[in-house]
């Protein structure tokens, strides 16, 4: 049978191609890819011979090299240093573009090796099929090449501590092109010169894990119209930064968030949100906190008294406006030597403190409204000499006001609210509150006449003595209080003329 010449030519070309392909892969490795790997090895100082298996023709059998089952091409290069506590790191002396021969590479891991003598290679941005890139703890010199933005197929990018400590990042604009990215770790990079970092990160709609610990951030944008990863993000680590602003409300709209790392932000503001759950299991880990504001949320459960006791650096504690229960004793407060603000407003917390306890702190603001404080008047307050605002409203305090109460913070206190208790006896005539602006003793059991000492509080703006058992006349000099704009003496037994 005769075959057309054109058919024979095509057949010969096909056979030749098959022979050449066979010659290239008969050893289980494409020669061009093997040479590229050997060139990479030649630029590495391998103290412990970790790449000792990189000999022979079959590069697919070398340690850290994986080839595709169907194509035979190298798809993974993983030379991660797993002995990070020892001096087993590969040390980079050079890294040229010969690795580009690994055109089918999908996974590249050089982590925990030492490349401090060279720059991060720009050609890495040419691995079009790369899905996983891990350069963490490699200490490359210089910055991050913008060509990494060409890796549009990338799912995982770990650049944590990838730069030498003397290097910094100018911008993150290239990040916005990595629209397939699910895991991003930039921890340990110097981002102090990249104020618009959030705009780039916000262009990643599939992001599930974002780690930016210890990068020098001081602000988080609050006025963001739309956050693209609200429905996808599950892990957010912003720990060990220098935030000096309130955390934005959009942060709490991330519905799938399972882990939030904010360790060592020394100030944590989460007030006026819809946060739920209890405070146990995580609060005690934030031992560097100076200010904690979780007020006006939906937290419930018992007050994590043991957790609070571990926050020894705390100066301001705001837990008001939640639904917390349980008890706090002097044991939990003993370590809070720097505490200045104690706000437990509108919680059902029992304050179980011994009458002989001397606090190690000096408070400026105390708000224990609706906490179980009585029936005895809290004797430990007599040692507080710097109080500016004191709210003990609806605390089930009974009995008479102790003699020492008129002396506490007499030169500093401006707000005093003891309303809705069962405090009886005569109004103390020895009050010497020189800066008092607001006084509410409403709904108690005070009796006797109005003390003329009230007329000496020249800063007084608000006075509510309603619903008591006061009798007698209104002091004539009460009109001398020129700043008084709210006076409530209703539901008493006062007599005589109004001055």
SS3 232: coil
Specify the pTM: 0.62
pLDDT of residue 68: 95
Alpha helical stretches, state H, 236-327? 305-309
Q: Angle at CA 361, nearest 5°, toward 359 and 367? A: 90
pLDDT of residue 131: 97
- What are the domain boundaries of the chain? 373-499
Read off φ and ψ for residue 370, nearest 5 degrees.
70, 5
Q: Angle at CA 483, nearest 5°, toward 481 and 485? A: 100
Q: Dihedral sign, CA of 28, 32, 33, 38? A: positive
pLDDT of residue 23: 37
pLDDT band at 25 (very low <50, low <70, confident <90, very high): very low
Q: Of 99 and 28, which is predicted with more confidence?
A: 99
pLDDT of residue 409: 76
Rg (CA), the chain: 35
> Stretch 329-353: mean pLDDT, rounded?
93
Tell me the pLDDT tens digit for each residue of 254-304: 878 777 777 657 777 788 888 888 888 778 777 888 999 999 999 998 887
Superfamily for the 373-499 domain: Ribonuclease Inhibitor (3.80.10.10)
How far apart are the C-alpha atoms of 423 and 447, rounded to whole Å?
Answer: 10
How far apart are the C-alpha atoms of 478 and 488, rounded to whole Å?
Answer: 13
> Stretch 181-197: mean pLDDT, rounded?
89
Residue 72 has pLDDT above 90, yes or no: yes
Q: Of 39 and 242, which is predicted with more confidence?
A: 39
How large a percentage of the chain has pLDDT more than 90?
58
Lowest mean pLDDT among 79-88, 315-324, 475-484: 79-88
Residue 18 has pLDDT above 60, yes or no: no
Residue 44 has pLDDT above 80, yes or no: yes
């Amino acid at each position: 049978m005769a075959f057309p010449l054109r058919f024979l030519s095509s057949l010969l070309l096909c056979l030749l191609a098959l022979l050449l392909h066979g010659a290239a892969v008969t050893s289980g490795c494409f020669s061009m890819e093997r040479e590229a790997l050997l060139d990479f090895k030649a630029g590495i100082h391998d103290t412990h011979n970790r790449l000792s298996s990189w000999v022979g023709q079959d590069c697919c059998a070398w340690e850290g090299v994986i080839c595709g089952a169907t194509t035979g091409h190298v798809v993974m290069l993983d030379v991660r240093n797993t002995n990070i506590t020892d001096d087993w790191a590969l040390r980079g002396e050079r890294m040229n573009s010969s690795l580009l021969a690994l055109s089918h590479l999908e996974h590249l891991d050089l982590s925990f090796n030492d490349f401090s003598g060279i720059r991060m290679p720009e050609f890495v941005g040419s691995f079009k099929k790369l899905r996983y890139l891990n350069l963490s703890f490699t200490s490359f010199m210089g910055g991050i090449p913008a060509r990494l933005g060409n890796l549009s197929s990338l799912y995982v990018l770990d650049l944590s501590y990838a730069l030498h400590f003397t290097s910094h990042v100018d911008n993150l604009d290239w990040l916005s092109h990595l629209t397939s990215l699910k895991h991003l770790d930039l921890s340990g990079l110097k981002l102090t010169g990249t104020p618009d970092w959030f705009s780039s990160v916000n262009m990643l709609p599939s992001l599930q894990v974002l780690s930016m610990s210890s990068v020098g951030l001081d602000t988080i944008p609050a006025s963001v119209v739309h956050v693209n990863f609200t429905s996808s993000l599950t892990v957010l680590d912003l720990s060990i930064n220098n935030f000096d602003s309130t955390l934005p409300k959009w942060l709490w709209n991330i519905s799938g968030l399972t882990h939030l790392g904010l360790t060592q932000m020394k100030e944590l503001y989460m007030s006026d949100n819809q946060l739920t759950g209890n405070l146990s299991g995580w609060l005690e880990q934030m031992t560097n906190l100076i200010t904690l504001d979780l007020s006006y949320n939906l937290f419930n459960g018992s007050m994590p008294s043991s957790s609070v006791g571990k926050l020894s650096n705390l100066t301001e504690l705001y837990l008001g406006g939640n639904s917390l229960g349980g008890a706090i004793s002097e044991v939990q407060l003993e370590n809070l030597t720097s505490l200045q603000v104690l706000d437990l407003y509108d919680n059902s917390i029992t304050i179980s403190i011994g009458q002989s306890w001397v606090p190690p702190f000096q408070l400026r603001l105390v708000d224990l409204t609706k906490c179980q404080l009585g029936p005895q008047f809290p004797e430990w307050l007599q040692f507080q000499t710097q109080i500016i605002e004191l709210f003990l409203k609806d605390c089930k305090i009974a009995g008479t006001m102790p003699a020492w109460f008129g002396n506490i913070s007499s030169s500093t206190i401006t707000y005093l609210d003891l309303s809705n208790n069962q405090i009886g006896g005569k109004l103390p005539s020895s009050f010497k509150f020189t800066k008092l602006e607001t006084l509410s003793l409403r709904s108690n059991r005070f009796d006797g006449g109005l003390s003329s000492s009230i007329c000496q509080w020249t800063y007084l703006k608000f006075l509510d003595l309603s619903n008591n058992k006061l009798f007698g006349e209104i002091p004539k000099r009460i009109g001398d209080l020129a700043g008084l704009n709210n006076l409530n003496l209703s539901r008493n037994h006062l007599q005589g003329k109004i001055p």
